[in-house]
């Protein structure tokens, strides 16, 4: 009885939690584009197409390096944020 009551209350807790819609950030879009280009590059047998895909992946990597992750933007100002930004 105790187990079923616990499981029922646990399941009800999940139903009451709001569903979070993950927004696609610019960094996530760039990383996804780089991932897609890299996967296509690995499967490509034509050297010319492979070189174009490699350039696309490289361009996405360079653009994503300029972005700041949302996690770092949400940190409060201070030495921890400065350290995290330097390490990123």
- Mean pLDDT for the chain overall: 80
| In contact, 64 and 41? CB cutoff 8 Å | no
54 phi and psi, to 5 degrees? -65, -40
DSSP string across 11-68: HHHHHHSPPP-----HHHHHHHHHHHHHHHHHH---HHHHHHHHHHHHHHHHHHHTS-
pLDDT at 36 over 90: yes
52 lies in a domain? yes
Give the domain extent around 63: 25-87
3 lies in a domain? no
pLDDT at 46 over 80: yes
- Count of domains observed in the chain: 1
64 lies in a domain? yes
Give the pLDDT score at 22: 64
């Amino acid at each position: 009885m105790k187990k079923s009551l616990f499981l029922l209350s646990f399941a009800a807790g999940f139903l009451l939690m709001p569903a979070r819609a993950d927004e696609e950030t610019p960094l996530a879009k760039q990383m996804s584009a780089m991932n897609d280009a890299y996967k296509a590059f690995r499967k490509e047998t034509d050297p010319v197409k492979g070189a174009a895909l490699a350039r696309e992946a490289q361009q996405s990597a360079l653009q994503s390096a300029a972005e700041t992750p949302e996690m770092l933007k949400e940190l409060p100002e201070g030495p921890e944020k400065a350290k995290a930004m330097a390490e990123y």
